[in-house]
A and B are shown apart, each in its own frame.
Chain A
Amino acid sequence: MHRRGVGAGAIAKKKLAEAKYKERGTVLAEDQLAQMSKQLDMFKTNLEEFASKHKQEIRKNPEFRVQFQDMCATIGVDPLASGKGFWSEMLGVGDFYYELGVQIIEVCLALKHRNGGLITLEELHQQVLKGRGKFAQDVSQDDLIRAIKKLKALGTGFGIIPVGGTYLIQSVPAELNMDHTVVLQLAENGYVTVSEIKACLKWETERARQVLEHLLKEGLAWLDLQAPGEAHYWLPALFTDLYSQEITAEEARETLP
């Protein structure tokens, strides 16, 4: 009595089928690679044509930049992944965002002694514009966000924290979890207190205290024991008055409680 499917014959047949399939598979992959190479050349030409007609549009129109980025994201393409990419080379989008990245890093570094490495998107925007000078091209807040998202690859703890309709930009690797973020969002007037946290978030005193202590430790908050009522925890990142002042590191240290 013979059992079906088992035995040297069946195995050999199976192996033969596999080999044939493999052979076809290999050819198909090579074919596809050749096809991709051709399509790439064609695409490059199309992109060059697009660039010659519309490069200025991208440069001058921030809304168009947003649409462009969104479309790329939808199809699974990152035009900013590499300076060597077609998008960057031909449309010049790369240099625009990478240079912005450098400027953002420099501003954050310069202001770190004052705000502990946390800054509002508005202030960052103002300072970057100031640094770019008169003849450079204007940038929008959306441009800044995209540049910052790219900077995360450098492993330096760049973070974007949404707070009430805008964003706080973090530029030092301080650990901020959900609790910390939620408290930051409460500090609309530039400061927050334990009572406020308990009232708005319904937390226990201990939880509020821990979060505030962490912010103090990371240099993101300053303690004001002379405030009326209870202690105020101020967030320098949210001081809008300080926009136009230039404070040196020495002055900042002297004002620390």
Chain B
Amino acid sequence: MDRFVWTSGLLEINETLVIQQRGVRIYDGEEKIKFDAGTLLLSTHRLIWRDHKNHECCMAIPLSQIVFIEEQAAGIGKSAKIVVHLHTAPPNKEPGPFQSSKNSYIKLSFKEHGQIEFYRRLSEEMTQRRWENVPVSQSLQTNRGPQPGRIRAVGIVGIERKLEEKRKETDKNISEAFEDLSKLMIKAKEMVELSKSIANKIKDKQGDITEDETIRFKSYLLSMGIANPVTRETYGSGTQYHMQLARQLAGILQVPLEERGGIMSLTEVYCLVNRARGMELLSPEDLVNACKMLEALKLPLRLRVFDSGVMVIELQSHKEEEMVASALETVSEKGSLTSEEFAKLVGMSVLLAKERLLLAEKMGHLCRDDSVEGLRFYPNLFMTQS
């Protein structure tokens, strides 16, 4: 910890910010010290830490001081960490938080995650060593680290050996996993080829493959994640699974729809349904494919796609066109409204409010005033006042 120097935290000319991460705690070796909650910033030249509460408590280490870094995975109750091994401090070092320390390494604990990305960027900077090429002011120039053929600090050799072993072990695990994955992919590719061949046969002779067989085939494609080339003739891209799902959705969404005025965007539905499930979540495509079957299955909800591409689920009983009439009343009362204002008045999401106003405009009830101040809707007096 005696390698840190106090700093203002401002970047020098030619020094660029690479990544920053909140919620980082610093350890001196294995010991917890008082710097327990701050933002860690990585620049092309330094590693900077700034206390969350007291922004003036800000310190930095030049990247040239770093010998090497290693990752420490998270555990139960423990955040993921990066261990940073350091050269000894140069004799002319500026003042910092610690005069001396028995440890030649520090640990950075990522209490709010972000360790993966930070480690990646730090590794990159350590490889590229941009601080060597881009000069900054004197205060950041410290020793460039011992040159190749260098004298190592005590204890580092042993650490490096352990690190090398660990790397080999990890590499072995990864390459085994990769090998197994490659074998798996070869088999998967065979399935893809087979399915293409079957699909072509189905396309050529519509009547000869039974409907049952087509349905079976579609479920195979779904299991493998192969895009369905046999399109919408029977039940669209839907399978038995999607039919079941459609029925489930009709049950789950009835009450939420009623609570929200009979209409919800598909994004809202996606979040609602998946939050409720907790696990075995639906993919976005699962949801869309199931919703496409709602009307065919004569369920009390339906999928609707607006001109803008926005997709919603409506209760069958919901008549958006009738809602337009009441929207017109609301707009007339206020003289004019933007989507945001209308949404707030009526208690809808801005997205759906905008769609309703656009629909009203399409039906000729409203006029738009499109300016830099935003999109505002007025009652269409051209229609009502001849």
Do A and B belong to a common assembly? yes
- Asked if B380 CB lies within 8 Å of chain A CBs, one says no
Query: Closest CB of chain A to B215's CB: distance in Å?
Result: 11
Residues of B within 8 A of A (CB-CB), count: 84
- Asked if A12 CB lies within 8 Å of chain B CBs, one says no
Q: Which residues 61-101 of B have a CB within 8 angstroms of A?
A: 73-74, 79-80
- Asked if A182 CB lies within 8 Å of chain B CBs, one says no
Give the interface residue-count category, chain A. 35 or more
Contact A98 B191 (CB under 8 A): no
Contact A36 B116 (CB under 8 A): no
Bound together, the chains give a CA A80 to CA B283 distance in angstroms of 7
- Asked if B287 CB lies within 8 Å of chain A CBs, one says yes
User: Contacts of A139 on B, CB cut-off 8 Å?
Assistant: 113, 116
- Asked if A223 CB lies within 8 Å of chain B CBs, one says yes
Known: A29-B201, A129-B114. A36 touches B191 (CB 8 A): yes
- Asked if B250 CB lies within 8 Å of chain A CBs, one says no
Residue of B nearest to A130 (CB): B112
Interface of B: prevailing SS: helix
- Asked if B146 CB lies within 8 Å of chain A CBs, one says no
**Which of B25-33, B153-161, B369-377 lies at the binding interface?**
B369-377
- Asked if B270 CB lies within 8 Å of chain A CBs, one says yes
Checking A37, A53, A72 against B220 with a beta-carbon cut-off of 8 angstroms, the contacting residue is: A37
Query: Closest CB of chain A to B352's CB: distance in Å?
Result: 11
Query: Closest CB of chain A to B339's CB: distance in Å?
Result: 10
User: Contacts of B205 on A, CB cut-off 8 Å?
Assistant: 22, 25-26, 29
Contact B310 A173 (CB under 8 A): yes
Residue of B nearest to A140 (CB): B116
Checking A47, A72, A136, A217 against B372 with a beta-carbon cut-off of 8 angstroms, the contacting residue is: A217
User: Contacts of B209 on A, CB cut-off 8 Å?
Assistant: 26, 29-30
User: Contacts of A156 on B, CB cut-off 8 Å?
Assistant: 265-267, 310-311, 351
Contact A64 B174 (CB under 8 A): yes
- Asked if B141 CB lies within 8 Å of chain A CBs, one says no
In addition to A33-B213, A54-B177, 14 A-B residue pairs with Cβ atoms within 8 Å of each other are A33-B198, A53-B180, A54-B180, A72-B225, A75-B188, A78-B226, A105-B267, A134-B113, A138-B114, A152-B284, A153-B285, A155-B311, A156-B266, A217-B371
